[in-house]
Amino acid sequence: MKLELQYLLEQARSGDVGIRRTAMRQLARYPVPEALTALVAGLCDEPAVADAAAHSLLRIGGEAAARAVVPLLAHEEVRPRSVALDVLIGLGRTAGPVLVELLGHPDRELRKMAAEVLAQGTYVEACPALEAVLDDPDPVVRAAAAAAVAALGCRGAAQHLVQRLAEEREDWVRFALAGAVARLASPNEVQALLEEMPDGALADLVRTELRHRLEGAAVEEEAWG
């Protein structure tokens, strides 16, 4: 088995695209660090090779595969970053712990991407960490965190969202927060916010979003009547 793995690793460095692609596919049988390293390198290769590498990483799965892919999120080129994000999304819940760790990364782009990937999954265990990121110093990250807690249904974050919405100064972040509040907060909390909303064009959009929440709650209550 070691001889075959060594052979595939050599094939993965071949000058022939077809040979590299075949090697990437076959490396899926080896969930070991050497294979993961080769597969991650393959994600930066020609599209056909990168697709084969991504498929193998998803077949291997697990937290180790997620950790191996994470460094590509800081790649200078767009395509490797995009492929890495697709792999992390495809890995699903197994990538959750790694993404939660990224929420505390010094690089704001990595924090933002971690929140965005979590928003597309079902790793509800990330809710406490995402709630903490609602107070991130960067508005882009705060908005991504708001979208993520809404997508994951983090109802425990509702009160924090209400507080953030009252304190937030960036209008576009307030709109993201309002969307999350509209999904997670109680009708009473929404009504209180409506009474406190300032005037302004975007505030009107926020107010509309919150009113939709109240109307939806009223319809549900009448249906259960």
Query: SS3 for 73-124, per residue?
Result: HHCCCHHHHHHHHHHHHHHHHHHHHHHHHHCCCCCHHHHHHHHHHHHCCCCH
Residue 198: DSSP 8-state: P
Answer yes or no: is pLDDT of 119 > 70: yes
Query: 69 pLDDT exceeds 80?
Result: yes
Band (pLDDT 50/70/90 cuts) for residue 212 is confident
Predicted confidence (pLDDT) at residue 8 exceeds the cutoff of 70: yes
Helices 139-152 and 171-184: crossing angle in degrees, nearest 10, is 10
For residues 129 and 159, what is the distance between their CA atoms, to the nearest angstrom?
A: 15
For residue 217, the tally of other CB atoms under 10 A from its CB is: 16
Reply yes or no on whether the pLDDT at 10 is more than 90: yes
Q: Which of 14, 66, 74, 70 is nearest to 45 (CA)?
A: 14
> Once rounded to an integer, what is the mean pLDDT over residues 199-220?
66
- Say what the pLDDT of residue 111 is: 97
Domain 1-102 falls in which CATH fold? Answer: Leucine-rich Repeat Variant (1.25.10)
pTM metric for this prediction:
0.86
| pLDDT per position as a tens digit, 138-167 | 999 999 999 999 999 999 998 899 889 888
Q: What does the alpha-carbon distance between residue 180 and residue 177 come to, in Å, rounded to a whole number? A: 5
Question: What percent of the chain clears pLDDT 90, i.e. is strictly above it?
Answer: 71
Domain residue extents for the chain: 1-102
Number of residues that this document lists for the chain? 225
